[in-house]
A and B are shown apart, each in its own frame.
Chain A
Amino acid sequence: MSDMMKVSSNPHIRSKATTAGIMGAVVLALMPATLFGVYNFGLHALIVILVTVASTVLTEYIYELLMKKPVTVWDLSAVVTGLLLALNLPPNAPLWLGAVGGVFAILVVKMLFGGLGQNFMNPALGARCFLMISFASIMTNFDCDAYTGATPLAALKAGESVNVMNMILGRTGGTIGETSMIAIVLGACILIMLDIIDLRIPGSYIVSFVIFVILFGGRGFDSAYISAQLAGGGLMLGAFFMATDYVTRPITKRGQYLFGIFLGIMTGIFRLFGPGAEGVSYAIILGNLLVPLIEKVTVPKAFGKGGERA
């Protein structure tokens, strides 16, 4: 035994959870939606996904090499960003679109603000909005071999009828990963079972959105309409995988409910009263910006400070 032992502050044990483990689990949970997207839209969708992920990972790697910072690509957070961004691209997207989006997500939204944990906006969504504004016609063109014409959500907004069952299964046009409600919810169940997310944000988001649609959708309590609103567009992917992004959601429990409700209302406003059919990305980005404020007003009462006398 050596003369002097190693000492450190308590505690002396650590849980097995690691950042890379969490990110890996998110990648795993995105697999049902990813695989369904490839099955639904074909090989080109797979190539778009691979190019986008390669772009995010390489951007982070090269940036860190150039800046002489420790390389952090093994924490897998860039993979999550790339995958999420790809799932938000149209299936027929040119490959350079994914590559440009990936560079923007990592370089502008993440690394320039200080890297993992420091970005105030979800990198994948930030990049998606950047692409939407810069390349609107490509980003909103969902025509591909399998499906042509308007997405179900756009059809719904135009007052046409939609096949809700196909929407839930995902056999419709849309971005690569958003179409199948079943695949996304399956992935969400994985995240919930692995204790990576809970239902505070997705639950309050979806419930408040439904209430908003009932109140202002003009159709009252029309279950077919509500189901179509829920299954259509990026709501499910957004609620379970992007609104729950740790870095850009409030850390306080009450703040998370507030955040979810805000997203539900904003998504409702954008979808029902905005010019486009979609609203999830902008709602979440806007919510991201409010996080510091939400956290500030929802600091929990410390134990014993609330006068909890029985």
Chain B
Amino acid sequence: MAKLTFVGGIHPYDGKDLSKDKPIKAILPKGSLVYPMSQHIGAPAAPIVKKGDRVLTGQKIAEAGGFVSAPIYATVSGTVSAIEPRRTVTGDMVMSIVLENDGLYEEVEYGPVKPLEELSKEEITGLIREAGVVGMGGAGFPTHVKLSPKEPEKIEYVIANCAECEPYLTSDYRRMVEEPEKIINGMKVILRLFDHAKGILAVEDNKPDCVETFRKLTASEPDITVKALRTKYPQGAERQLIYATTGRAINSSMLPADVGCIVDNVDTIVAVGQAVLEGKPLMHRIVTVTGNAIADPRNFIVRIGTNYHELVEEAGGFQTEPAKIVSGGPMMGFALFGLDVPVTKTSSALLCMTEDEASKYEPGPCINCGRCVEACPGRVLPSKLADFAEHGDDEQFLAYNGMECCECGCCSYVCPAKRPLTQEIKSMRKIQLAKRKK
């Protein structure tokens, strides 16, 4: 049963007014483009071009490195100038293909497309896999893997994550306003894969216009329903979203498919539609460029590989010196060392903040106020977990369900003592995950 919300969560200032009314604008890259071989979870892609090769827009330049992996396509025409490690948003150096844009945008001929009704399930997942579609909400899990659960007949719900609960982000919102039919078409493609599944378009109720449009557009679609969820961060977190829409709860060791659900975000569903209905690979994504430091906050449709510098320029540059630059939203995004990194399949936003709230306060002692416990959607005890993490107490950390943390950031956000709770728990989780692999 749908509860339309979950226990815990926070209501931060959402900052969406900066960019929510700015239509999506297509921008063309000026400088060279960089394609990291790892912009998804799983094995890195393997380059199939070499230095000096000329490639066309839409040409595959790297092949998937395994089943859990995804191919990468050139998004402009030009010449491969280097294959070398480059800095990415997480700060890591990742092997990347560098492409000099020749400004001609010569595109490959895409293969013929068959109508959806004539495609078999294997053909559909094949097309999605071949197009390099990955979860574009942030995690980057290859979509064809997600859409190939062990028991497809047990999938009951395909949930479109249209919550966009991260503050400041408006890319999904603009997509819903401007191209809602693309989301519905993508949903129909995914529903073809599961005989017993219904589609749910899950939207937060701070976007009543989108709820309204979706309801109108799906009025004659008995298999697709629209659910208006209560606005609260992190409503768009996978586990919270499944709970709010179906009343089913999963923990960190389960997959959505274990409770008969598949969750995909807006841009991913659009990419699925494009791959199957138009035969086009994943080459673009919508990026919100926003924050108080940006002169003219906007939503852009960007070719993957474009340098972040260009996004800032297109948005009018900085009106004030940024104190912190974040790839993604303020709750779960990555702080950047600098702008010289490329847009990848998972870059949802570029947030330029005028104030670094995280370093503004000196952390004080925990007063045991319990705000983190109230806010935690994973229903763990963040203050205790952070203590265990600080002391390197693996045993207690695991006993107190430390692995159930989804790193949403609510605990650090609410902490009046300004303790870096999420950071401590996150580091400890990384250590535990690494130990598990051994």
Considering residues B243, B332, B356, B423, which has the most beta carbons from chain A within 10 angstroms of its beta carbon?
A: B356
Contact A1 B318 (CB under 8 A): yes
Contact A14 B381 (CB under 8 A): no
* A251 contacts partner chain B, Cβ-Cβ < 8 Å: yes
Contact A304 B251 (CB under 8 A): yes
**Residues of A close to B380: CB separation below 8 A:** 300, 302
Contact B378 A303 (CB under 8 A): yes
Interface residues of A in 200-251 (CB under 8 A from B): 246-249, 251
Q: A11-B358, A247-B368, A251-B384 are contacts. A305–B401 as well, Cβ < 8 Å? A: yes
Interface residues of B in 312-352 (CB under 8 A from A): 318, 321-326, 330-338, 351
- B351 nearest CB neighbor, chain A only: A12
Contact A299 B381 (CB under 8 A): yes
Interface residues of A in 11-53 (CB under 8 A from B): 11-15, 17-19, 21-22
Residue from B167, B361, B368, B407 in contact with A246 in the complex, judged by beta carbons closer than 8 Å:
B368
Interface residues of A in 78-104 (CB under 8 A from B): none
- Closest CB of chain B to A118's CB: distance in Å? 7
Contact B384 A10 (CB under 8 A): no
**Residues of A close to B39: CB separation below 8 A:** none
* A4 contacts partner chain B, Cβ-Cβ < 8 Å: yes
* B239 contacts partner chain A, Cβ-Cβ < 8 Å: yes
* B103 contacts partner chain A, Cβ-Cβ < 8 Å: no
- B399 nearest CB neighbor, chain A only: A299
Contact with A along B355-389 (1 / 0, CB 8 A): 01111110011111111010001111101100000
Residue from A5, A11, A22, A299 in contact with B422 in the complex, judged by beta carbons closer than 8 Å:
A11
Residue from B252, B412, B416 in contact with A18 in the complex, judged by beta carbons closer than 8 Å:
B416
Contact A9 B423 (CB under 8 A): yes
- Closest CB of chain B to A252's CB: distance in Å? 7
- Closest CB of chain A to B415's CB: distance in Å? 8
Contact B422 A14 (CB under 8 A): no
**Residues of A close to B324: CB separation below 8 A:** 5-8, 12
- Closest CB of chain A to B227's CB: distance in Å? 14
**Residues of A close to B418: CB separation below 8 A:** 14, 18
Q: A10-B407, A11-B412, A304-B239 are contacts. A22–B367 as well, Cβ < 8 Å? A: yes
Contact A3 B409 (CB under 8 A): no
How far is A142 from B371 in the complex, measured between Cα atoms in Å?
Answer: 39
Residue from B249, B367, B370, B415 in contact with A306 in the complex, judged by beta carbons closer than 8 Å:
B249
Contact A17 B371 (CB under 8 A): yes
Contact B91 A7 (CB under 8 A): yes
* B29 contacts partner chain A, Cβ-Cβ < 8 Å: no
**Residues of B close to A302: CB separation below 8 A:** 251, 378-380, 401, 404
How far is A1 from B338 in the complex, measured between Cα atoms in Å?
Answer: 9
Interface residues of B in 226-258 (CB under 8 A from A): 239, 243, 246-252, 254
How far is A21 from B324 in the complex, measured between Cα atoms in Å?
Answer: 26
- Closest CB of chain A to B350's CB: distance in Å? 12
- A18 nearest CB neighbor, chain B only: B416
- Closest CB of chain A to B330's CB: distance in Å? 4
How far is A106 from B393 in the complex, measured between Cα atoms in Å?
Answer: 30
Tell me the total A-B contact number using a CB cutoff of 8 A.
182
- B2 nearest CB neighbor, chain A only: A310
Contact A15 B336 (CB under 8 A): no
- Closest CB of chain A to B168's CB: distance in Å? 9
**Residues of B close to A8: CB separation below 8 A:** 324, 335, 356, 358-359, 420, 423
Q: A5-B337, A12-B324 are contacts. A251–B373 as well, Cβ < 8 Å? A: yes
Interface residues of B in 392-407 (CB under 8 A from A): 400-401, 404, 407
Contact with B along A266-310 (1 / 0, CB 8 A): 000000000000000000000000000000000111111111111
Interface size on A, residues (CB 8 A): 45
Contact B370 A251 (CB under 8 A): yes
- A11 nearest CB neighbor, chain B only: B409
* B169 contacts partner chain A, Cβ-Cβ < 8 Å: no
**Residues of A close to B367: CB separation below 8 A:** 19, 22, 77, 116-117, 246-247
* B414 contacts partner chain A, Cβ-Cβ < 8 Å: yes
- Closest CB of chain A to B74's CB: distance in Å? 29
- Closest CB of chain B to A193's CB: distance in Å? 16
Contact A19 B364 (CB under 8 A): yes
**Residues of B close to A10: CB separation below 8 A:** 330-335, 407, 409, 412, 422-423
Contact A246 B369 (CB under 8 A): yes
Contact B251 A11 (CB under 8 A): no
- B334 nearest CB neighbor, chain A only: A10
Considering residues B353, B410, B412, B416, which has the most beta carbons from chain A within 10 angstroms of its beta carbon?
A: B416
**Residues of A close to B336: CB separation below 8 A:** 5, 7
**Residues of A close to B415: CB separation below 8 A:** 14-15, 17
Residue from A11, A304, A306 in contact with B254 in the complex, judged by beta carbons closer than 8 Å:
A304
Contact with B along A38-73 (1 / 0, CB 8 A): 000000000000000000000000000000000010
How far is A14 from B421 in the complex, measured between Cα atoms in Å?
Answer: 12
In the complex, besides A5-B324, A18-B361, A302-B378, 20 extra interface pairs with C-beta distance below 8 angstroms are A3-B338, A5-B336, A8-B324, A9-B335, A9-B426, A10-B334, A12-B330, A12-B351, A13-B413, A14-B357, A14-B360, A22-B369, A117-B366, A251-B381, A303-B377, A304-B251, A305-B404, A306-B249, A307-B249, A310-B247
Instruction: List 20 contacting pairs A-B, 8 Å CB cutoff, sorted by A.
Output: A1-B321, A1-B322, A5-B336, A8-B324, A11-B358, A12-B324, A13-B331, A14-B413, A15-B415, A18-B418, A77-B367, A117-B368, A247-B368, A299-B381, A300-B373, A303-B7, A303-B379, A304-B404, A305-B401, A309-B249
**Nearest 7 pairs between A and B by C-beta?**
A310-B247, A11-B409, A304-B251, A9-B423, A7-B335, A302-B404, A302-B401
